C-alpha cells in the first residue's frame, strides 16, 4: 500500500509540472559542461541503457572455471572455454559507461576490474564487477578520473592505474564500493600499461620506454629507474628478471630489470609492428597489428627467435593463452581462437551484395529500393526486391560528395557536402534534379519533416530549409551547435543533433525560424548515427556501441496553469550560485507558499513569500547546498497553481 501511495503522490506531483521548455544560450554550453555533476547525466537528458559492444580490445582468463572475459567496446562478453576450439558465450551482462582499455581479474575475490576512457572528454576510470555468478554479474564499485586510464593492475588492497598523462595513480580498493585515491606520480611520458612485481611498478611509458617505480609505500611512490627503448612502449609483461615491452614500430624489446635502478635492454625482435605481448614462458605471443600473431621463443632473452606466425585479417589488439590455444581480441569485430599455427576465425554469412562505384556512406530504404549516398559517385538507386540479388537501376551524379540521404514520397533529399539537393525519383531509372540550396558550411546529413528539411551542417550546426516548393527551397532558421554536426533526426517539436566533439543536443524547433538548444548529453565516444522514438534516443558511439538516452523534457510535463491573481517568472535560468531570482506579480494582499521539487517529485524546500496588491516584486530564494540538477518551482494558493521548470548549478 505504501508503494502504491508513493506512486500516486509521484504521479500527482509530476502532473502539476510546467510545459515551458528550458532555453539554453549557446555561450552557456561550455560553462554547463564544466560542472562535474553533469559528467554522467547532462541537461534534460538521462542515460537509460546501452548495448555498448564494439571492436574487441582485451582478453583475460579465469583458469579455475575455464572462463574467458573479452572486452568489446564498452561491454564484456563472458565465454566458457572448456573446449577452447568451441568457445560458448555465457553472458553479455557487463555494460560500462566508457570504452574499455584494460581488464584485471582477481581469482580470489572473483572481481573483474575494468579500466575505461571516454574519447569525447578524455575522462576515464575503472569499474569493479562481481563475477562470482557469471550469468548475473553485478557492479559493486567504480572510480572516476579526469584522465584516460589505459592500464590496471590489482594486488592486495590497491589498484594501480596507468593514467595516461597523469602517470601512475594508486587507488585504495579495500572497500570495493568506495575506491579512494591514495597517491599519483607523474612520469615523463604517457603511462600506457603496467605490471606489478615485488612492490615495484613497471610502466610502459610511451616515448619514454620503461619507467620503474617503487610502490612499497603506496602513499609515496618513488621513481627508481628507467630505460629508453626504440619505439613507443604500449604494453608490458614481466617474467623473472626481464620486462617484455610491446613497442609498436620498435617491435618487442626485452629489458633486464634485475637491478631496478639500472635497467638495460638485452634483446629485441623487430619483425612486426607490435601492439601487445603475452608470456607463457618460454613462449611470447605478440600481436602484430594487421599482420596477425607471432609466436617467439624467448628462452634466450638476448636472441628471441620466431617459431611460427598466424596471419589473421583485422587488427589484433590483445591476446591470452590457454594450453595450446591463443585467444585474440580482433578490432575487426572477432575474437579469434588459434590452435598452434592454424587460424579459425568466425565468418558471418553474406546473403547478397551490390558494389557501388564510390564509397557508400549512407542508405535509405523505401519500398523495394535502397537509395545510397555514394560519396563522390552521387546518388545510386538499388533494386532490393530480391535481397539475394540486388542490382543498380539508376543514378544521379551530384556536383560534390553525397554523404546523407532522406526519401519522402517521390523525392530524395541529398546532403551533398555544401548543398541540399532535391531529386525526383518517381522514375527510379531516371532521377531528375528539381532544386538545390547551398548551406553555410558542409551538409553532412538530413532529415525531412512536413515541409522542412533539417540539415546537420558541420560547423554551422543545424540549418532549417523550407522545401514546400521543391524547385525553390529557402532558408528558415539556424541553431549553432558546439562541435561538428554530423547527423539529425526530427520527432514532434524536437530536432536531435549529434555532434563530433560535442555530443547529443536536443533543439526545440517549435518556432523553426528561431530554434533553441533545450537539452544536451556529453556522449562517451564520438557519436556516429542517431535514431529517435520519443522519449528514447538511440545513438551509435563508435567503440562505445549503442547508447540509449531519454529526453527528460517529455512525459513529465503538463500545460501551465495561469490565474488572474498572480504571475510567476524566473529571471535567471539556468541558475548559477546560491539564489533563484524570481519576479512575482499579484492583485491581492496574500501570503503564499512556494515549494521546490526535484525530478523525482520530492519536495526539497519550502519558501513563504508575501505579495501586496498591484505589487511587482523581485525575490531571491536561497538554493545553497542543493545539488546541481533539474528542479520545479511551484507556487500554490487557494485559487492559484503555477509551476516553472529550472536547472540549478552549485
* pLDDT tens readout for residues 84-125: 767 788 998 999 888 899 999 999 999 999 999 876 667 889
- Based on the fold, state whether residues 431 and 573 are members of the same structural domain: no
- Based on the fold, state whether residues 448 and 523 are members of the same structural domain: yes
* Residue 327 included in any domain: yes
DSSP 155-222: ETTEEEEE-BTT-EEEEE-SSTTS-EEEEEE--SS-B-EEEEETTEEEEE-BTT-EEEEE-SSTTS-E
- Of the pLDDT bands very low, low, confident and very high (cuts 50, 70, 90), residue 477 is very high
* Residue 34 included in any domain: no
* pLDDT tens readout for residues 585-625: 766 656 777 888 776 556 778 888 776 555 566 788 888 77
> Which among 304-308, 320-324, 634-638 has the top mean pLDDT?
304-308
> Residue 629 above 70 pLDDT?
yes
What integer is the mean pLDDT of 428-449?
93
- Based on the fold, state whether residues 291 and 434 are members of the same structural domain: no
* Residue 204 included in any domain: yes
- Based on the fold, state whether residues 62 and 204 are members of the same structural domain: yes
Q: ∠ CA(637), CA(642), CA(643), 5° rounding? A: 125
- Based on the fold, state whether residues 542 and 583 are members of the same structural domain: no
DSSP 93-128: EEE-SSEEEEEEEETTTTEEEEEEE-TTT--EEEEE
Domain end (from 518, 551, 584): 551
* Residue 33 included in any domain: no
Instruction: Give the phi and the psi of residue 33 in degrees, each rounded to 5.
Output: -70, -25
CATH number at residue 543: 2.130.10.10
- Based on the fold, state whether residues 474 and 397 are members of the same structural domain: yes
Across the beta sheet with 536-540, the strand order is 45-51, 546-551, 536-540, 529-533
- Give the whole-angstrom CA distance, residue 124 versus residue 142: 11
What's the total number of domains in the chain?
A: 3
- Based on the fold, state whether residues 148 and 292 are members of the same structural domain: yes
What integer is the mean pLDDT of 290-305?
84
Domain end (from 285, 311, 343): 343
* Residue 26 included in any domain: no
* Residue 27 included in any domain: no
- Based on the fold, state whether residues 537 and 610 are members of the same structural domain: no
- Based on the fold, state whether residues 168 and 260 are members of the same structural domain: yes
* Residue 599 included in any domain: yes
- Based on the fold, state whether residues 57 and 194 are members of the same structural domain: yes
CATH number at residue 582: 2.60.40.2550
- Based on the fold, state whether residues 644 and 516 are members of the same structural domain: no
- Alpha-carbon dihedral of residues 265, 266, 271, 276, nearest 10 degrees? -60
* pLDDT tens readout for residues 215-237: 999 999 999 999 999 999 999 99
* Residue 623 included in any domain: yes
Domain end (from 517, 551, 585): 551
Domain that residue 303 falls in:
52-343
- Based on the fold, state whether residues 113 and 227 are members of the same structural domain: yes
What mean pLDDT value characterizes the chain? 80
pTM of the model: 0.64
* pLDDT tens readout for residues 135-194: 989 999 999 887 889 999 999 999 999 998 889 999 999 999 999 999 999 998 899 999
Amino acid at each position: 500500500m505504501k508503494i502504491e501511495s508513493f506512486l500516486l503522490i509521484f504521479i500527482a506531483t509530476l502532473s502539476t509540472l510546467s510545459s515551458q521548455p528550458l532555453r539554453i544560450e549557446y555561450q552557456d554550453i561550455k560553462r554547463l559542461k564544466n560542472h562535474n555533476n553533469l559528467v554522467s547525466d547532462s541537461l534534460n537528458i538521462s542515460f537509460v541503457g546501452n548495448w555498448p559492444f564494439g571492436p574487441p580490445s582485451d582478453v583475460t582468463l579465469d583458469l579455475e572455471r575455464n572462463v574467458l572475459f573479452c572486452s568489446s567496446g564498452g561491454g564484456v562478453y563472458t565465454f566458457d572455454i572448456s573446449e577452447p576450439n568451441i568457445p560458448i558465450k555465457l553472458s553479455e551482462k557487463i555494460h560500462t559507461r566508457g570504452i574499455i582499455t584494460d581488464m584485471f581479474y582477481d581469482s580470489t575475490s572473483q572481481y573483474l576490474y575494468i579500466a575505461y576512457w571516454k574519447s569525447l572528454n578524455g575522462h576515464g576510470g575503472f569499474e569493479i564487477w562481481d563475477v562470482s555468478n557469471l550469468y548475473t554479474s553485478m557492479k559493486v564499485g567504480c572510480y572516476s578520473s579526469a584522465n584516460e586510464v589505459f592500464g590496471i593492475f590489482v594486488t592486495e588492497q590497491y589498484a594501480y592505474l596507468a593514467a595516461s598523462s597523469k602517470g601512475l595513480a594508486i587507488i585504495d580498493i579495500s572497500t570495493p564500493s568506495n575506491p579512494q585515491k591514495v597517491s599519483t606520480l607523474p612520469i615523463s611520458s604517457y603511462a600506457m600499461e603496467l605490471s606489478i612485481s615485488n612492490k615495484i611498478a613497471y610502466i610502459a611509458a610511451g616515448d619514454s620506454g620503461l619507467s620503474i617505480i617503487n610502490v612499497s609505500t603506496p602513499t609515496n611512490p618513488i621513481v627508481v629507474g628507467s630505460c629508453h627503448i626504440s619505439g613507443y612502449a604500449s604494453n608490458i609483461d614481466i617474467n623473472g628478471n626481464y620486462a617484455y615491452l610491446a613497442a609498436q614500430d620498435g617491435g618487442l624489446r626485452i629489458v633486464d630489470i634485475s637491478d631496478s635502478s639500472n635497467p638495460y635492454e638485452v634483446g629485441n625482435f623487430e619483425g612486426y609492428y607490435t601492439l601487445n605481448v603475452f608470456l607463457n614462458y618460454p613462449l611470447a605471443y605478440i600481436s602484430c597489428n594487421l599482420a596477425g600473431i607471432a609466436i617467439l621463443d624467448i628462452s634466450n632473452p638476448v636472441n628471441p627467435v620466431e617459431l611460427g606466425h598466424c596471419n589473421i585479417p583485422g587488427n589484433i589488439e590483445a591476446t591470452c593463452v590457454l594450453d595450446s590455444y591463443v585467444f585474440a581480441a580482433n578490432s575487426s569485430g572477432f575474437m579469434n581462437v588459434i590452435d598452434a599455427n592454424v587460424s579459425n576465425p568466425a565468418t558471418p554469412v553474406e546473403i547478397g551484395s551490390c558494389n557501388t562505384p564510390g564509397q557508400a556512406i549512407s542508405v535509405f530504404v523505401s519500398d523495394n529500393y535502397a537509395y545510397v549516398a555514394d560519396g563522390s559517385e552521387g546518388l545510386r538507386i538499388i533494386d532490393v526486391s530480391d535481397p539475394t540479388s540486388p542490382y543498380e537501376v539508376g543514378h544521379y551524379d551530384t556536383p560534390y560528395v553525397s554523404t546523407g540521404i532522406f526519401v519522402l514520397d517521390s523525392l530524395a533529399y541529398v546532403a551533398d557536402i555544401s548543398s541540399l539537393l532535391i531529386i525526383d525519383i518517381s522514375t527510379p531509372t531516371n532521377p531528375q534534379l528539381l532544386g538545390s540550396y547551398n548551406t553555410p558550411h558542409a551538409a553532412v546529413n538530413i532529415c525531412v519533416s512536413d515541409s522542412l528539411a533539417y540539415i546537420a551542417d558541420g560547423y554551422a550546426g543545424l540549418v532549417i530549409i523550407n522545401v514546400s516548393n521543391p524547385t525553390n527551397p529557402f532558408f528558415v532558421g539556424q541553431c549553432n551547435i558546439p562541435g561538428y554536426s554530423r547527423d539529425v533526426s526530427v520527432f514532434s517539436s524536437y530536432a536531435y543533433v549529434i555532434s563530433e566533439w560535442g555530443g547529443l543536443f536536443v533543439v526545440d524547433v517549435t518556432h523553426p525560424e528561431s530554434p533553441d538548444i533545450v537539452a544536451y548529453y556529453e556522449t562517451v565516444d564520438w557519436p556516429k548515427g542517431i535514431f529517435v522514438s520519443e522519449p528514447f534516443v538511440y545513438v551509435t558511439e563508435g567503440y562505445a556501441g549503442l547508447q540509449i538516452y531519454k529526453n527528460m523534457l517529455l512525459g513529465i510535463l503538463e500545460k501551465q496553469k495561469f490565474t488572474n491573481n498572480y504571475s510567476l517568472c524566473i529571471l535567471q535560468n539556468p541558475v548559477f550560485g546560491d539564489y533563484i531570482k524570481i519576479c512575482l506579480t499579484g492583485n491581492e494582499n496574500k501570503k503564499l507558499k512556494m515549494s521546490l521539487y526535484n525530478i523525482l517529485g520530492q519536495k526539497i524546500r519550502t519558501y513563504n513569500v508575501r505579495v501586496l496588491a498591484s505589487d511587482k516584486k523581485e525575490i531571491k530564494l536561497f538554493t545553497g547546498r542543493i545539488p546541481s540538477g533539474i528542479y520545479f518551482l511551484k507556487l500554490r494558493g487557494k485559487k492559484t497553481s503555477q509551476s516553472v521548470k529550472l536547472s540549478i548549478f552549485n
